[in-house]
Chain A
Amino acid sequence: MRNDAMPVQYDVIGGAGLRFFGKVSASITHELKNVLAIINENAGLLEDLSYAAQRGSAIDPDRLNRACLQFTKQINRADGIMKNMSHFAHSVDAFDGQINLYELTALVANLAGRLAAMRKLTLEVTPPSTPVVFSGNPFLLQNFIWLCLEFAFTATAAGGTLLLSPAKDDGGATLRIGGIDGLDDTFVSQLPAGSEDLLVALGATVSADYHTKELILHLAWRLS
């Protein structure tokens, strides 16, 4: 289905959206490389132990078991990474899809988890008291939340926790990102490139509460 906002959305997806997709893909690739590296070392260890056993050394069954458990653990880890990637990749399909703001925020937090960990930051997503569901472009919304997190990462000291709280409000929905130590009245100029275009395409606004150190995304969308 097409609507009037589509040309703008296409432009934004071709610019900021492509950069966003690239960053997420690179991060996921890195995580999968780590999973493969662990599987590779455990497979190699089994080979080493088998070689030693052929030459008469005793093998500790517990060690074999621990190596096998690593295979299961890493396969489950990779499965989780791929599920997130699949949800994310399919979000490009829908220009006007149904969005559960908590689920979408949790997905972005998962995708950004490794980058947060690199900065020694923790991401927490609080479920709203009632589900916040509306129609809109999930990819562009994910992109804007990601850019807000990129800003928050640079403005928050290592060891901090960023709290993401979706909620309903009178005119639609809000997403608060709290715990940004360095949030001040220059935040608009510090938001990454592409933020303005995304806000226009989303029909959204962003403000800050310097007292509570929260960035607040306002979505004046029709709730389901």
Chain B
Amino acid sequence: MRVLLVDDEKEFVTTLAERLTLRGFKVDFATLAHDALALAEKNIYDLAVLDMKMPGTSGLELKGLLQKIQKDLKFIFLTGHGSEADYAAGSSESACYLVKPINIDILIAQMHEAVKP
């Protein structure tokens, strides 16, 4: 599975990418929406894992922009917020919505679930 991770917290996204790579996933990551879109122009992904709140472009906005490039892309949202409004927004817009700090086993189970045909 090829995964695009996007989160403005660099230390978080790089370490999560490393851990997923150790588990056999092919992972690219970006800390800015602009860089994520550039990666999606170059590579085909099965799944994007997006932070909900990022400077400039929100996760929901980025989802729309990525879908214009890859319409079949699946999504999982991550967030530091645990508000009901965020949960409602994330749950309706994606396959899954996880609150940080995340359990990597749960994330991986949700990733497999998200890409099921």
Q: What is the interface of chain A, defined by CB distance below 8 A to chain B?
A: 26, 29-31, 33-34, 36-42, 44-45, 48, 52, 67, 70, 73-74, 117-120, 158
- Cβ of A26 to closest chain B Cβ, rounded Å: 8
A34–B80 touching, CB < 8 Å? yes
B11–A38 touching, CB < 8 Å? yes
Given contacts A30-B53, A37-B9, A118-B55, contact A42 B15 (CB under 8 A): yes
Given contacts A41-B15, A120-B55, A158-B56, contact A34 B22 (CB under 8 A): no
Contacts of B12 in A (CB 8 A): 34, 37-38, 41
Given contacts A33-B100, A118-B53, A158-B56, contact A38 B9 (CB under 8 A): yes
Known: A44-B15, A44-B104, A70-B15. 14 other contacts (CB 8 A): A26-B81, A26-B83, A29-B80, A29-B81, A33-B99, A36-B100, A37-B12, A37-B100, A37-B102, A40-B101, A41-B15, A44-B19, A45-B19, A118-B53
Interface positions of B from 1 to 48, Cβ below 8 Å from A: 9, 11-12, 15-16, 18-19, 22
Contacts of B19 in A (CB 8 A): 41, 44-45, 48
A33–B80 touching, CB < 8 Å? yes
A36–B101 touching, CB < 8 Å? yes
Contacts of B80 in A (CB 8 A): 29-31, 33-34, 37
> Closest residue to A32 on the B side, CB-wise?
B80
CA distance A40 to B15 in the complex (A): 10
Where chain A touches its partner, the secondary structure class is helix
Q: How many residues of B contact A (CB 8 A)?
A: 21
- As a 0/1 sequence over residues 67 to 86 of chain B, the CB contacts with chain A under 8 angstroms (1 = contact) are 00000000000001111000
CA distance A158 to B56 in the complex (A): 8
Count: A-B pairs, CB below 8 Å:
66
> Closest residue to B15 on the A side, CB-wise?
A41
- Cβ of B103 to closest chain A Cβ, rounded Å: 9
- Cβ of A72 to closest chain B Cβ, rounded Å: 12
Q: 7 smallest A-B Cβ distances: which pairs?
A: A33-B80, A40-B101, A37-B100, A41-B15, A37-B101, A30-B80, A38-B11
A120–B101 touching, CB < 8 Å? no
Contacts of A36 in B (CB 8 A): 100-101
Contacts of A40 in B (CB 8 A): 100-102
A30–B22 touching, CB < 8 Å? no
Contacts of A37 in B (CB 8 A): 9, 12, 80, 100-102
